[in-house]
Amino acid sequence: MNTRLVLIPLTRPWGPEVTDIRVIEVVVVDDTGARGHGFSWTPTIGGSAVQALIDADLGPFARGRPAEPSWWNAAWEHLHEAGGAGVTTIALAGLDLALWDLVAQRAGRGLAETLGRRHPSLPTYGSGVNLHYSLDELVAQANRWVEAGYSGVKVKVGKPDLAEDIDRLRAVREIIGPRRDLMVDANQRWDLDRAVQAVSAFEPFEIAWLEEPLRAEDLAGHRELKRRTGVRIAVGENIHTLSRFEEYLDAGAADVLQPNIIRVGGITPALGIARRVQQAGAELAFHLLPELSAQVAFAGEKPTRIEIVEDARFEELGALTGPSGLVVLHGTVSGGPGVGLGLQFR
């Protein structure tokens, strides 16, 4: 198993500390010489640590095992002394994706078809890391989302002055009109009292969900926010294990669950999380990485919306050796690679 750290500059930085994406490419070779290509991913922070964990601990453990993802849990247990989630699950994702790529290549099909494709296309929503945008820049972005045909858009909130958040949401709602969903994402910036205040202030804008209002670890706080306000709460990008997702579901603390396929450890655990979320009657909305998440969602039991962050897709950033086969057009995503995972990096 070989790894390579790839630095991909962002066209629109996500903030002063996030100006690039770190991709850890993982290549596995089976006993016939066939190669599977996977990857792990972080926004700037932690890429080198992930690569080191793969090279020093996961690679030696994987050597000689079946070239398929059936032993994911054994690999997770092997890395557990370094932590049950976080860097460990991000590292596991690179191997898991590479093994799924091999499985799909042997079948001569794309990943979605290998998993059992149920949906020819899925709806998308426009998203952006835009809290640092000026109001004019935010309005221009909202206009681009409308022109792209998205049925919903997501805006960052969490300005020091709540009145500024209100002004920004009012401007976006005026641009997108009453029929498009407006989601807001606080990125864990608030405490409970501030979140309750914000929910009340945002009522005129009829938000579809409030994402990560509190620290993701604060299950009790999310449950209490739900009790006090009734707002639809979305969490998941910073939840890394099935057991943690189940805790949120069992507590009734979230309505929308957003697993990031890399952060939860790859396709294998993501399939189990997605199934559990949809069986519980909650909304599933994979976080980021549409070139990957759409392929998994095409095989989901129920259709789900795919997040499209402006100027952040691998193809838009010129990071891939060839087209992914994914088609994002008129508010939907369709297509996918003809064979395998279809994601190899320059």
Interval 25-35: pLDDT, tens: 999 999 999 99
Judged against a pLDDT cut of 90, whether residue 6 lies above it is answered with yes
For the whole model, what pTM was predicted? 0.96
Report the run of H or E that residue 41 belongs to, with start and end.
strand 35-42
Q: Which residues are catalytic?
A: 156, 287
Check residue 220 and give its pLDDT.
Answer: 98
Mean pLDDT of 99-121: 98
Of 6-15, 25-34, 173-182, 203-212, the least confident: 6-15
Rounded to the nearest angstrom, the gap between the alpha carbon of residue 318 and the centroid of all alpha carbons in its chain is 20
Mean pLDDT of 53-71: 97
Judged against a pLDDT cut of 90, whether residue 63 lies above it is answered with yes
Q: Give yes or no for a contact between 152 and 181, defined as CB atoms under 8 angstroms apart.
A: yes
Could you read off the pLDDT of 273-326 as tens digits, one per residue? 999 999 999 999 999 999 999 999 999 999 999 999 999 999 999 999 999 999
**Domains, in order of start, for the chain:** 2-108 (3.30.390.10), 113-335 (3.20.20.120)
Judged against a pLDDT cut of 90, whether residue 17 lies above it is answered with no
Judged against a pLDDT cut of 90, whether residue 16 lies above it is answered with no
Could you read off the pLDDT of 227-268 as tens digits, one per residue? 999 999 999 999 999 999 999 999 999 999 999 999 999 999
| Bridge partners of residue 26, in order along the sequence | 3, 38
Q: Give yes or no for a contact between 154 and 183, defined as CB atoms under 8 angstroms apart.
A: yes
Q: For residue 214, give both structure tokens.
A: 């509190």
| 342 confidence band (pLDDT: 50, 70, 90) | very high
CB neighbourhood size of 308 (10 A): 24
| Residue 134, C-beta contacts closer than 8 angstroms, at least 6 positions apart | none
Q: What's the chain's average pLDDT?
A: 97
Mean pLDDT of 114-140: 97
Mean pLDDT of 76-103: 97
Could you read off the pLDDT of 321-333 as tens digits, one per residue? 999 999 999 999 9
pLDDT above 70 covers what percent of the chain? 100
Mean pLDDT of 180-190: 98
Check residue 128 and give its pLDDT.
Answer: 94
Check residue 15 and give its pLDDT.
Answer: 83
The residue behind tokens 């059936």 is 70
Distance CA 223, CA 227 (A): 6
Distance CA 303, CA 326 (A): 17
- Give which of 233, 340, 250 is closest to 295, Cα–Cα: 340
Distance CA 132, CA 23 (A): 24
| 62 confidence band (pLDDT: 50, 70, 90) | very high
